[in-house]
Amino acid sequence: MSVAKRVLIVDDEAPIREMIAVALEMAGYECIEAENAQQAHAAVLDQKPDMVLLDWMMPGTNGIDFARRLRRDEVTSNIPIIMLTAKAEEDNKIQGLEVGVDDYITKPFSPRELVARLKTVLRRTTPKGIEEPVTVDDLTLDPISHRVLSSNSPLELGPTEFRLLQFFMTHQDRAYSRGQLLDMVWGGNVYVEERTVDVHIRRLRKALGERHDYLIQTVRGTGYRFSAQLS
């Protein structure tokens, strides 16, 4: 059974947030609410939603500026965003899409339409390794059953090592600093020392064994990289 997708609803009007939350929870989603961009950014870093439903018109930082901020930050750049707005003009829609939002729904909208559009965006933006198994050189991670197989033999990984491996296998061939790994695997609002990353990398390599430990590569002066290509 798959884990419920977590959706962050960002709107300064509580009745609208409640209406959306009721519709999404009835459809099997878990909901988080924020009434402004500051609350929303903290929720994104701390609770790692699978989707952001974002109102355009909010006091302070508006939805467009907040979406732009999410897209600029490497930690949050891949989170799917649906913009909710009363602005129906073509120029407004183009502006939203150019910022990088994945869809644009004009108010008023029906809960059924919202759920359908949300499902479509999630299906389109979910990479392998998040819902479907991902395999690299006979190392397979299955996120649904929470299993890792090496040449069809199960490996024993702790929860942090599993999350770390899942991140690496879905973000291959790129070097990440310890700070970036802390943000992306542990969460931006969690205080953990950077050397903790080294401890879990060592545990992960040990769990992978001689057959696959080469996949976790140390990049001098930067951090770590996951790659099937020898450095």
95 assigned to some structural domain: yes
Please report the DSSP string for 41-107 in residue order. Answer: HHHHHHH--SEEEEES--SSS-HHHHHHHHHHSTTTTTS-EEEEES--SHHHHHHHHHHT-SEEEES
Q: Quick one: 86 and 165 in the same domain?
A: no
Range of the domain at 152: 134-226
Kindly report the CATH number assigned to the domain that includes residue 34.
Answer: 3.40.50.2300
**pLDDT tens for each residue of the chain, 231 residues long:** 346 789 999 999 999 999 999 999 999 999 999 999 999 999 998 888 989 999 988 888 899 999 999 988 877 888 899 988 876 666 666 776 778 888 888 888 888 889 998 988 887 766 655 668 899 999 999 988 889 999 999 999 998 999 999 999 988 898 999 988 887 787 655 566 888 899 999 999 999 999 999 999 999 999 999 999 876
Q: Which two tokens stand for residue 228?
A: 């099937």
pTM for the predicted model, two decimal places: 0.60
Q: Quick one: 111 and 214 in the same domain?
A: no
Residue 21: what pLDDT?
A: 95
User: Which helix (DSSP H) or strand (DSSP E) does residue 153 occupy?
Assistant: strand 153-154
Kindly report the CATH number assigned to the domain that includes residue 157.
Answer: 1.10.10.10
User: Where a domain ends, among 77, 107, 125?
Assistant: 125
Residue 167's SS3 state is helix
